[in-house]
Chains A and B, each alone.
Chain A
Amino acid sequence: MEQRMANTWRMTVNEKKFIETALESGLRIDGRRPFDYRKLEIKFGKDEGSVEVHLGQTHVMAFVTAQLVQPYRDRPNDGTLSIFTEFSPMADPSFEPGRPGESAVELGRVIDRGLRESRAVDTESLCILSGKLVWAIRVDLHILDNGGNLIDAANIAALAGLLTFRRPECSLGGENGQEVIIHPPEEREPLHLIVHHLPIAVTFAFFSYESSVVIDPTHHEEAVMGGRMTATLNSNGDVCAIQKAGGEAILQGVIMQCLRIAAAKAGAISDMIKKEVDSYNTKRALLKIKRHSTPMDVDRGASDIGLKQNSSVDQMRVDEFSGHHVQRIKQECEEGIAKQSGDVESETKLSDKTLTNRSNEDTKNFIGGPSSWDPYSVGVDSDSLKASLASQGMPMPIEKQKDSKGEETRTEAKPEDAPENNNPKTSPLREAESAEQANGEKTLKDAVKAKNRKSRRKSHSSSGPS
């Protein structure tokens, strides 16, 4: 035990005095003003619902997964949302593995209260069969690096994860309509969660000296502070939760001022989160369009990455995917949409035959978000894309030649269950479509087609745009 105490980090008296003295003149040790946030970066991972947030030196990772469970007895129509916080020992030498300490429990509770009590995530839409089956959403927060102000960073990570997570769509079937069929992502597009508003946590640190208040304390400031308050607000100015557990007594006027500042900060941060999530969704939507418009990219390896037809759209694609693509990817094309046949994205698409074989396996893998992102796995079904585009009321510029699989009739009927959260994608999709249409016929199309023949098992009809 003594050894563990010897390992804890203690701040020297000189450092404490320095921080306090600087705060008297309104200076913080990292050069910020008292009410400035540190730089916020939100990065999304491979799976849907996985996000990494960097708030200054604080790193937090969030993973969102979903599972079908029985609902609670007193709430048969509601899904559940649970937050699990892991204070990983890599974040701070004083974090011990095993049972969560008080600060870990407090963080989990504050974020949980902000999300659950304010009904930010709509749980009624998670119900499949009342009283029998509902979706249980699980958010795992991993604190990787403790640079101070873990609550705010973890909250942002949880929100970004919930906004980008998509759960598989399921429908009721069977003889008496009681059987639940879960559709793998290749069959039907997974759905976003319905998030009504974004509760943003803003943390204030109080110092006894001259009653200074700062926002977003670093871990040095946290070691010096006299008390802390976290206010969770949304951009409408509603207070979702306030947490001030002990610490020194603060004047009422100061608290009110803090709440006003928090309202302003919450608006700014939720705009930033929405912007990042939107750009991520746009990239993903473009990826889907790309996949369907590049059936000819068989045997195109890295050598083709040099050929760029549409540099503006390709640019972000290559940045995102060149790191993930292997040199030679073998493909078998499923549909022929020739929008950008000369496009250089080397995507992997399997034929229908393998699709049906794999869909059985993939049904087991749906937990944890669909794998439609994985460039090595089955490509996104073009039918679902068509349906989702149609559901947005956009004209369908893409005519596709289909294998006779009967999918057409199924997807035609699909548009009515369009999720409303496709709407933010509408405008970026529209831009992408017009960008593609502007390019016209590709010069390499004929060259690619000849190469294509031998590896395409199915005989596709001509894939010219109509």
Chain B
Amino acid sequence: MEIDRLDGRTPNQLRPLACTRNVLNRAHGSASWCQGDTKVLAAVYGPKAGTKKNENPEKACIEVIWKPKTGQSGKTEREYEMILKRTLQSICILTLNPNTTTSVIIQVVNDDGALLPCAINAACAALVDAGIPLKHLAVAICCCLAESGYVILDPSKLEEQKMKAFVYLVFPNSVLSNLPEGQLKVQGEPMEHGIITSVTQGAMPVDDYLHCLERGRAATAKMSAFLRKSLQPKLPID
């Protein structure tokens, strides 16, 4: 049974992606990421001296500030900041610049569903633009579960509201390497199958969650390819 999506996409089809780097002048790194109508602008200020009070001064610290489109920052924004901070901490190399703070500022330009994954993708692109050393990139996606048990990727806001449950998943991006295959497996599984972050909302059975994981992984392979292509430096044609 095919699910009819409002905009005619198939359940596995993502919205059109767009990524622009270096959009701001003052920030050390900036990127804007669009998934369909959801648009997020991220800016990074590179390592600044000092860490906050509660942070470990022996490591670099990441500070995330989330600015909503309108209104005051509330609990939702704090939660997003916390999730984003933990996700980015796992991809940055924290031991390189101890006792420094890297600030990531997220500005929501338009919210049409899958806001947090869009923000994570934008933050990664902005970190690359700023030249912050990273272990690998992260790609984020939203999978939701319809009433009928169907898994749908990258919902719009209307779809998200109608779903029984949804989950935001962040995977490491796929690796392009010259090394032989065996080197990059962690305990027998390829590295990109690891889950960096998973945030669920609503109740879903375990099997459906595993379905979401599979679909999410497949989709993030495509997003990784897009991310790699858009982040490659554009060389001038001689």
Which A residues lie at the B interface, using CB under 8 A?
Answer: 2-4, 6-7, 45-47, 50, 57, 59, 61, 63, 65, 86, 88-93, 97, 138, 140, 142, 144-147, 323-324, 326-330, 348, 368, 374-377
Among residues of A, the one whose C-beta sits closest to the C-beta of B24 is: A145
Nearest chain B CB to A88 CB, angstrom units: 6
Chain A residue, CB-CB nearest to B44: A90
Complex Cα–Cα for A145 and B36 (A): 25
Answer whether residue B26 sits at the interface, using C-beta atoms and an 8 A cutoff. yes
Contact A376 B30 (CB under 8 A): no
- Are A376 and B50 interface neighbours, CB within 8 A? no
Number of A-B residue pairs having CB atoms within 8 Å of each other in the complex? 103
Kindly report which residue of chain A lies nearest to residue B6, judged by CB atoms: A376
- B9 contacts across to A, CB distance below 8 A: 326-328
Contact A57 B25, CB 8 Å, known A89-B103, A326-B16: yes
Whole-angstrom CA separation of A59 from B41 in the bound complex: 12
Partner among B36, B43, B158 whose Cβ is within 8 Å of the Cβ of A326: B36
Residue of A46, A91, A138, A323 near B26 (CB, 8 A) is A91
Establish whether residues B158 and A376, one from each chain, have CB atoms under 8 Å apart when the complex forms: yes
Q: Which of B24-46 contact A (CB under 8 A)?
A: 24-27, 30, 36-37, 39, 41, 43, 45
The binding surface of chain B is classed by DSSP as loop
Chain A residues with CB below 8 A from B49, complex form: 3, 6-7
**Interface residue count on the B side (C-beta < 8 Å):** 36
| Cα-based distance from A382 to B54 in the complex (angstroms) | 59
A-B contact pairs, 9 of them (CB 8 A): A88-B67, A89-B105, A90-B26, A90-B45, A144-B43, A145-B27, A327-B13, A330-B8, A376-B6
With contacts A145-B25, A326-B16 known, is A348 near B69, CB below 8 A? no
Decide: B37 and A324 in contact? CB cutoff 8 A: yes
Q: Is B181 an interface residue (CB 8 A)?
A: no
Complex CA distance for A47 and B26, rounded to whole angstroms: 27
Given known contacts A65-B70, A348-B7, A45 and B110 CB-to-CB distance under 8 angstroms: yes
> In the complex, A375→B15 CA distance in Å?
13
A3–B50 CB distance below 8 A: yes
Cβ of B218 within 8 Å of any chain A Cβ, yes or no, is no
The reply to whether A88 and B4 contact each other, CB–CB distance below 8 Å, is no
Contacts of B48 in A (CB 8 A): 3, 7, 93
Residues of A within 8 A of B7 (CB): 326, 329-330, 348, 375-376
Contacting A142 at CB < 8 Å: which of B8, B26, B67, B156? B67
| B109 cross-chain contacts in A, Cβ below 8 A | 45, 50, 61
Is B18 part of the binding interface, using a Cβ–Cβ cutoff of 8 Å? yes
Distance A145 CA – B28 CA, assembled complex (angstroms):
11
Chain A residues near B71: list those with CB within 8 A: 140
The list of the 7 closest CB pairs from A to B, nearest first, reads A3-B50, A90-B43, A90-B105, A330-B8, A376-B7, A329-B8, A328-B8
Question: Is there a chain A Cβ closer than 8 Å to B114's Cβ?
Answer: no
A93/B67 in contact, CB under 8 A: no
